[in-house]
Amino acid sequence: MVGKTLLHYRIVSKLGAGGQGAVYEAVNTKLERTVVVKVLPPELTANEINLARFEREAKLASSLDHPNICAIHDLAFAEGVHFIVMQRVEGSDVRELVNGRPLELKTALSIAIQVCDALAAAHARGIVHRDIKANNVMVTSDGKAKVLDFGLAKLLEQDGPNITDDQRKHLTEVGKPYGTATYAAPEQAQGLPADHRADIFSTGVLLYEMLVGKWPFDGKTAVHVRYAVVNEPARRLADARPSPTPARLQEILDRAIAKDPQDRYQKITEMRDDLRAVLRQLELEDNPEYQEDVAPFAPRRLAQPGRITRSLDSVAARTRTSRKVVAIGALSLAALIVIPIIVYSVRHWPALTTSSAVALRLHGSNTIGAKLAPSLVEAFLKKQGAASIRIIAGANPDEALVSALMPGNASPIIVEINAHGSSTAFADLVNSRADIGLSSRRIESDEIQKLTSLGDMTLPASEHILGLDGIAVIVNRENSIDSLTREQVARIFSGEITDWSQVQGPRSAIKIFARDDKSGTFDSFKALVLRNAKLASSATRFEDSAALSDAVAREPGGIGFIGLPYIRDAKAVAISEGNAPPLVPNTLTVSTEDYLLSRRLYLYTPPHSQNVWVSKFVEFALSGEGQQIVAQNGFIAQNVNSQNASVAQNAPAEYKRLTTGAERLSLNFRFRRGGRELDNKAQLDLDRVVSFVADLKFTGQNILLFGFADDGMGTDLEISKERAALVAEQFKHRGITPAVVTGFGSTIPIASSASEEGREKNRRVELWLKR
């Protein structure tokens, strides 16, 4: 995105990213004014609910003309992206100002008062922010605070006459606690309706953070934090802040962050006025000659300790009631799922996930499990007629539950998704902790051996190709390097090459970023690139793909490897080996597996699973509808398409003649390792091609098959023709006789045949379509 121009806004640099999109600094070329552009990720625009939420953020914020609210200049669509243009606020956010240390007392009070002023303007218009936090409050060099991001804002009244009830529900409800865990009010933590008093709670938390340097409610995970917000009192200022504060400030905080909304300030202006009184008192104490004019401080109806105790009791009572209703299966789904998970302590999570309500357990690859698996499960459950589908974050950021109500059932079913790495897929299948293994690499020989009690995991009944991905080698966009050989990549990541100038790049130290040891992406990278070499000890390791990509995008000398959907704002370089031309990872090069670092994404299942949901889910995931979900999540689907493709200059003349005017189909047929039988992917691809040809009203006369072999067999031309003939025979069984079936030996390699992996790449059958 950096360097592009959207309408008359030239993107200069990336500032950050959040759940609603990436944020960039840009220049309005018409007015020569620096602005901020917030872009909705392209993969989300297909979802009208996300798009409506994004557009509503702009409309809500633009309706608020206040000096403490970041101004919205424009809402637009260009170059295939939807974006908001906002005021550029020069300064630091409160998180950067605090950085683990308390702010000066009057500075903290001044910022909090300005936040109250901003919220007072919003509340007066019926708008609740619902995500007040340190990252969303910018402070300029002259001390002016600006509230950002009304992405979770909600009109107290209806959103408008043209929005459906279902859309209105989804615009402000995602089936899980909303807001940021460390700032969200107890009612938000429980997924319950919230009004303007939730903003008052969050502002109290923000004030506490500025006064202490820490949050009042803490925990190792978001679940711990939300449990503390609902059930535990905040540490008192006298015990938490190193320097003393006025006693009246503790009273204000007690009231602002009371558990029960009824015990809080009922208006943000009341909190603001009390804070102003404290600040005024401090200022006058610095000028004793004016103290005689000071009126005594008298806050309005501050919550007393007894009131707070009763508030805790009322929350506990509501929780007990909710649990009772859950037991009889009559509570709404939001309460059914959110309250047991969020209000219970973390130890209840395992009990929930191992209960009889868990219909399906998907464990393994983070590449698949982070986004793709939840999306597939949600679409699959809809296909089964489910309603009230909710995705709930787990105690660990790589864990989630998907809950749904099936027709005729009062109680929900739950699908468990744990995404801790491909190796955990096979470990959990062995120990019967998973029904389906998610893997971004092929099962290894020792894993096959450990799973023999379940059957042969390499047969089509067990090994299912979900989609295709490419391991992109990414660098900073400012790096002049556009291509590397596989050997160079290996030497860089092993630490042998340490400066970009060693590979004809700028004179700059190389900084390596890599996925962690549990990652299937790392396993694939080791097999495809590092091989016998070891990753440099200086590499910074990541469990999360997006975090790795963003780190490379921020680091001028950075290099990393990542799955295609996570290239984000980094730059993917072309990769080559031997005599093969360098190829960048894109839809065609990955779908045909010509790209050197392309890989398959797998679902592994026991061949004789007794769980009926297993076969249903796999069938859906491999269907055309399921593959559309794969594509929507940034991976390469296996739905067949055709497109124009360039032909290598050194290709045989006959190959060039036959492909003139033809389009290449988005797949190659490959064979089982060490044999001449088509592999598991090819078995389904045959039927996909037949459906594609039939839909176009074409016949076999439109199909061209070209076989290829590696260069180490001596009889490569004959073998390449034999491979093409094997595929042609399978098509004939399906009623299609290809027009051309021939082979070209080893004349157009896509990898070096010096390795077994390279030879397997070169052993293929291409499909072309003559319209």
List pLDDT tens digits, range 239-259. Answer: 888 788 888 999 999 999 999
Q: What span, in angstroms and rounded, lies between the C-alpha atoms of 231 and 199? A: 19
Residue-level pLDDT at 465? 96
Dmax (CA) for the chain in angstroms is: 105
Containing 347, the helix (H) or strand (E) segment is none
Query: Could you tell me where the DSSP H helices lie in 232-304?
Result: 237-240, 247-256, 268-285
Decide if pLDDT at 307 tops 50.
no
The residue among 53 and 498 whose pLDDT is bigger is 498
Pick the CATH number of 332-459 from 1.10.150, 3.40.50, 3.30.43, 3.40.190: 3.40.190
Q: What is the mean pLDDT of the chain?
A: 82
Confidence of residue 115 (pLDDT cuts 50, 70, 90): very high
Residue-level pLDDT at 19? 54
Residue-level pLDDT at 329? 33
Give me the mean pLDDT over the 279-308 stretch: 50
User: Which residue's structure tokens are 């490897």?
Assistant: 561
Q: What span, in angstroms and rounded, lies between the C-alpha atoms of 572 and 501? A: 18
Q: Which residues pair with 436 in a beta bridge?
A: 362
Pick the CATH number of 92-305 from 3.40.50.620, 1.10.510.10, 2.60.120.10, 3.30.1950.10: 1.10.510.10
Residue-level pLDDT at 314? 37
Reading the block at residue 129, the tokens are 């922010």
Residue-level pLDDT at 633? 82
Q: What span, in angstroms and rounded, lies between the C-alpha atoms of 112 and 118? A: 10
Decide if pLDDT at 318 tops 80.
no
Known active-site residue 550? no
Within this chain, domains 332-459 and 466-591 share the same CATH topology: yes
Residue-level pLDDT at 760? 85
The residue among 335 and 491 whose pLDDT is bigger is 491
627-648 exposure pattern, b = at least 16 Cβ within 10 A, e = fewer: bebbebbbbbbbbbebeebeee
Residue-level pLDDT at 150? 67
Q: What span, in angstroms and rounded, lies between the C-alpha atoms of 117 and 528? A: 57
Domain ranges in the chain are 5-87, 92-305, 332-459, 466-591, 640-769
Q: What span, in angstroms and rounded, lies between the C-alpha atoms of 286 and 492? A: 61
Least reliable range by pLDDT among 55-64, 154-163, 406-415, 550-559 = 154-163
Contact, 218 vs 225, CB < 8 A?
A: yes
Q: What is the DSSP string of 604-617?
A: E--TT-S-HHHHHH
* Tens of pLDDT, residues 704-756: 999 999 876 568 899 999 999 999 999 999 989 999 999 999 999 988 887 77
Decide if pLDDT at 466 tops 70.
yes
What does each C-alpha distance from 725 to 415, 593, 740 come to in angstroms? 44, 21, 10
Residue-level pLDDT at 450? 95
Q: What span, in angstroms and rounded, lies between the C-alpha atoms of 138 and 696? A: 56
Contact, 702 vs 693, CB < 8 A?
A: yes
Contact, 467 vs 627, CB < 8 A?
A: yes
Residue-level pLDDT at 67? 84
Residue-level pLDDT at 324? 33
Q: What span, in angstroms and rounded, lies between the C-alpha atoms of 3 and 573? A: 17
Pick the CATH number of 640-769 from 2.40.50.220, 3.30.1330.60, 3.20.20.150, 3.40.50.510: 3.30.1330.60
- CATH for the stretch 466-591: 3.40.190.10
Containing 381, the helix (H) or strand (E) segment is helix 372-383
* Tens of pLDDT, residues 424-440: 999 999 999 999 999 99
Residue-level pLDDT at 181? 79
Q: Would you tell me how many other CB atoms lie within 10 Å of the CB of residue 152?
A: 23
Q: Quickly name the fold that domain 5-87 has.
A: Phosphorylase Kinase; domain 1 (3.30.200)
Amino acid at 479: N
Confidence of residue 404 (pLDDT cuts 50, 70, 90): very high
Residue-level pLDDT at 467? 95
Q: What span, in angstroms and rounded, lies between the C-alpha atoms of 618 and 626? A: 9
The residue among 320 and 709 whose pLDDT is bigger is 709
Environment class of 351 (CB within 10 Å of its CB; exposed 0-12, middle 13-18, buried 19+): exposed
Decide if pLDDT at 188 tops 90.
no
* Tens of pLDDT, residues 340-360: 333 333 334 444 444 447 899
Give me the mean pLDDT over the 125-138 stretch: 88
Confidence of residue 20 (pLDDT cuts 50, 70, 90): low
Confidence of residue 393 (pLDDT cuts 50, 70, 90): confident
Confidence of residue 228 (pLDDT cuts 50, 70, 90): confident
Q: What span, in angstroms and rounded, lies between the C-alpha atoms of 564 and 367? A: 10
**Of 117, 131, 469, 685, which residue is the catalytic one?**
131
